[in-house]
A and B are shown apart, each in its own frame.
Chain A
Amino acid sequence: MSKSVKLKRGFTINLAGKAEKNLAEFSQPETFAVKPTDFVGMLRPKALVDVGDNVKAGTPVLVDKKHDNISYTSPVSGEVVEIRRGEKRKLLEIVILADKEIEYASFNSYAVSDLVKASRADVQQQMLDSGVWPNLIQRPYGIVANPEDSPRDIFISGFDSHPLAPDYNFILKGEDKNFQAGIEVLKKFTNGTIHVNIDGLGEVNQVYTAAESVQINKFSGKHPAGNVGVQIHHLAPINKNDLVWTINPYGVIQIGKLFIEGRYDTSKIIALAGSEVKNPQYYKTFGGANVRKFTEGNLNNDHVRYISGNVLTGENISVQGHLGYYDQMFTVIPEGDKPEFFGWFLPSFKKLSFSRSIGSLSFLNSSKKEYVIDTNMHGGARAFVQTGDFEKVTPMDILPTHLIKSILAEDYDEIEALGIYEVIEEDLALCEFIDVSKHDIQAIVRDGLNLIQYS
Chain B
Amino acid sequence: MKFLEKAVEKAKVPFEKGGKLEKYYVLFESIESLLFVSKDTTLNKGAQIRDAVDMKRFMVTVIYAFLPALVFGTYNVGYQYYQAIGLEPSGSWDIWWVGIQRVVPQILVAYVAGLLIAEFAFSYVRQHPINEGFLISGLLIPMVLPPTLPLWEVALASIFAVVIAKEAFGGTGMNILNVALVARAFLYFSYPGDMSGDQVWVYLGDHVAIDGFSGATPLAIVGATVESGQNAVAALAAHGDTYSLSNMFYGLMPGSIGETSVLWILVGAVILIATGVGSWRIILSGFAGAYGLAFIFQLIGVNPYFAMDPMYHIVMGGLAFGIVFMATDPVTASQTNTGKWIYGAMIGILTIVIRVLNPAYPEGIMLAILFMNVFAPLIDYYVVGANKKRRLKRATV
Chain A interface residues toward B at CB < 8 A? 13, 163, 237, 239-242, 305, 307, 311-316, 331, 333, 335-345, 348, 351-360, 362, 373-389, 391, 397-399, 401-402, 417-419, 425, 429, 432-438, 440-443
Which of under 10, 10 to 19, 20 to 34, or 35 or more describes the interface residues of B?
A: 35 or more
Asked whether, in the complex, the Cβ of A443 is within 8 Å of the Cβ of B55, the reply is no
Contacts of A378 in B (CB 8 A): 37, 50-54
Asked whether, in the complex, the Cβ of B274 is within 8 Å of the Cβ of A377, the reply is no
Asked whether, in the complex, the Cβ of B57 is within 8 Å of the Cβ of A357, the reply is yes
Contacts of A399 in B (CB 8 A): 336, 384, 387
Asked whether, in the complex, the Cβ of A358 is within 8 Å of the Cβ of B64, the reply is yes
**Given contacts A353-B51, A379-B38, A385-B55, could you give 14 more A-B pairs where the C-beta distance is less than 8 Å?**
A337-B40, A339-B36, A339-B38, A340-B36, A343-B52, A345-B56, A345-B60, A352-B52, A354-B53, A375-B49, A383-B131, A397-B387, A433-B47, A436-B58
Which of B48, B58, B271 has a CB less than 8 Å from the CB of A312?
Answer: B48
Asked whether, in the complex, the Cβ of B48 is within 8 Å of the Cβ of A375, the reply is yes
Cβ of B129 < 8 Å from any Cβ of A?
yes
Q: How far is the CA of A129 from the CA of B330 in the complex (A)?
A: 54
Q: How far is the CA of A336 from the CA of B57 in the complex (A)?
A: 19
Task: Specify which of A13, A337, A339, A401 lies most central, judged by the most chain B CB atoms within 10 Å of its CB.
Answer: A339
Asked whether, in the complex, the Cβ of A239 is within 8 Å of the Cβ of B54, the reply is no
Asked whether, in the complex, the Cβ of A341 is within 8 Å of the Cβ of B5, the reply is yes
Asked whether, in the complex, the Cβ of A375 is within 8 Å of the Cβ of B42, the reply is yes
Q: How far is the CA of A204 from the CA of B141 in the complex (A)?
A: 59
Asked whether, in the complex, the Cβ of A383 is within 8 Å of the Cβ of B170, the reply is yes
Residue interface mask B252-283, A partner, CB < 8 A = 1: 00000000000000000001001111010000
Cβ of B87 < 8 Å from any Cβ of A?
no
**12 sample A-B contacts, Cβ–Cβ < 8 Å, listed by A number:** A13-B49, A163-B49, A376-B39, A377-B38, A382-B55, A383-B170, A383-B171, A386-B330, A388-B279, A401-B335, A418-B388, A419-B391
Asked whether, in the complex, the Cβ of A382 is within 8 Å of the Cβ of B132, the reply is yes
Which of B5, B53, B384, B395 has a CB less than 8 Å from the CB of A418?
Answer: B384
**CB under 8 Å from chain A, chain B span 344-397:** 384, 387-388, 390-392, 394-395
Cβ of B43 < 8 Å from any Cβ of A?
yes
Asked whether, in the complex, the Cβ of A339 is within 8 Å of the Cβ of B37, the reply is yes
Nearest CB in chain A to that of B4: its residue? A341
Given A345-B56, A345-B57, verify A443-B38 contact (CB < 8 Å).
Answer: no
Nearest CB in chain A to that of B45: its residue? A315
Asked whether, in the complex, the Cβ of A385 is within 8 Å of the Cβ of B394, the reply is no
Q: How far is the CA of A339 from the CA of B395 in the complex (A)?
A: 50
Which of A241, A333, A391 has a CB less than 8 Å from the CB of B337?
Answer: A391
Nearest CB in chain A to that of B41: its residue? A375
Nearest CB in chain B to that of A357: its residue? B61
Asked whether, in the complex, the Cβ of A417 is within 8 Å of the Cβ of B391, the reply is yes
Q: Within the complex, what minimum Cβ distance (angstroms) separates A188 from chain B?
A: 27
Contacts of A239 in B (CB 8 A): 391, 394-395
Contacts of B214 in A (CB 8 A): none
Q: How far is the CA of A432 from the CA of B49 in the complex (A)?
A: 9
Cβ of B185 < 8 Å from any Cβ of A?
no
Given A239-B394, A377-B38, A399-B336, verify A429-B58 contact (CB < 8 Å).
Answer: no
Asked whether, in the complex, the Cβ of A357 is within 8 Å of the Cβ of B335, the reply is no
Contacts of B37 in A (CB 8 A): 339-340, 342-344, 376, 378-379
Q: How far is the CA of A163 from the CA of B50 in the complex (A)?
A: 13
Q: Within the complex, what minimum Cβ distance (angstroms) separates A38 from chain B?
A: 11
Q: Within the complex, what minimum Cβ distance (angstroms) separates A394 from chain B?
A: 12
Which of B56, B274, B331, B391 has a CB less than 8 Å from the CB of A386?
Answer: B331
Asked whether, in the complex, the Cβ of A384 is within 8 Å of the Cβ of B173, the reply is yes
Asked whether, in the complex, the Cβ of A307 is within 8 Å of the Cβ of B57, the reply is no
Contacts of B45 in A (CB 8 A): 315-316, 442-443
Task: Specify which of A333, A357, A443 lies most central, judged by the most chain B CB atoms within 10 Å of its CB.
Answer: A357
Q: Within the complex, what minimum Cβ distance (angstroms) separates A213 from chain B?
A: 26
Contacts of B21 in A (CB 8 A): none
Nearest CB in chain B to that of A343: its residue? B37
Asked whether, in the complex, the Cβ of B56 is within 8 Å of the Cβ of A311, the reply is no
Cβ of B11 < 8 Å from any Cβ of A?
no
Contacts of B5 in A (CB 8 A): 339, 341
Q: Within the complex, what minimum Cβ distance (angstroms) separates B366 from chain A?
A: 22
Cβ of B190 < 8 Å from any Cβ of A?
no
Nearest CB in chain A to that of B277: its residue? A357
Q: Within the complex, what minimum Cβ distance (angstroms) separates A12 from chain B?
A: 13
Asked whether, in the complex, the Cβ of A355 is within 8 Å of the Cβ of B131, the reply is no
Contacts of B271 in A (CB 8 A): 358
Asked whether, in the complex, the Cβ of B49 is within 8 Å of the Cβ of A360, the reply is no
Nearest CB in chain A to that of B340: its residue? A388
Which of A311, A337, A438 has a CB less than 8 Å from the CB of B39?
Answer: A337
Q: How far is the CA of A351 from the CA of B37 in the complex (A)?
A: 13
Which of B46, B58, B170, B391 has a CB less than 8 Å from the CB of A355?
Answer: B58
Q: Within the complex, what minimum Cβ distance (angstroms) separates B284 from chain A?
A: 14
Given A240-B395, A343-B36, A397-B390, verify A362-B173 contact (CB < 8 Å).
Answer: no
Asked whether, in the complex, the Cβ of A341 is within 8 Å of the Cβ of B64, the reply is no
Which of A237, A348, A425 has a CB less than 8 Å from the CB of B46?
Answer: A425
Q: How far is the CA of A377 from the CA of B54 in the complex (A)?
A: 9
Task: Specify which of B51, B64, B271, B336 lies most central, judged by the most chain A CB atoms within 10 Å of its CB.
Answer: B51
Cβ of B90 < 8 Å from any Cβ of A?
no
Asked whether, in the complex, the Cβ of A436 is within 8 Å of the Cβ of B387, the reply is no
Cβ of B172 < 8 Å from any Cβ of A?
yes
Contacts of A379 in B (CB 8 A): 37-38, 50, 53-57
Q: Within the complex, what minimum Cβ distance (angstroms) separates B25 from chain A?
A: 13
Cβ of B234 < 8 Å from any Cβ of A?
no
Asked whether, in the complex, the Cβ of A385 is within 8 Å of the Cβ of B331, the reply is yes
Cβ of B33 < 8 Å from any Cβ of A?
yes
Task: Specify which of A240, A315, A333, A387 lies most central, judged by the most chain B CB atoms within 10 Å of its CB.
Answer: A387
7 A-B pairs with the lowest CB-CB distances in the bound complex, closest first: A379-B54, A383-B173, A343-B37, A239-B395, A351-B52, A339-B36, A344-B56
Contacts of B38 in A (CB 8 A): 339, 377, 379-380
Contacts of B50 in A (CB 8 A): 376-379, 432-433, 435, 438
Asked whether, in the complex, the Cβ of A341 is within 8 Å of the Cβ of B1, the reply is yes
Asked whether, in the complex, the Cβ of B40 is within 8 Å of the Cβ of A377, the reply is yes
Q: How far is the CA of A170 from the CA of B8 in the complex (A)?
A: 50
Which of B39, B174, B336, B388 has a CB less than 8 Å from the CB of A338?
Answer: B39
Q: How far is the CA of A380 from the CA of B46 in the complex (A)?
A: 17
Asked whether, in the complex, the Cβ of A352 is within 8 Å of the Cβ of B51, the reply is yes
Q: How far is the CA of A435 from the CA of B54 in the complex (A)?
A: 8
Cβ of B92 < 8 Å from any Cβ of A?
no
Q: Within the complex, what minimum Cβ distance (angstroms) separates A297 from chain B?
A: 23
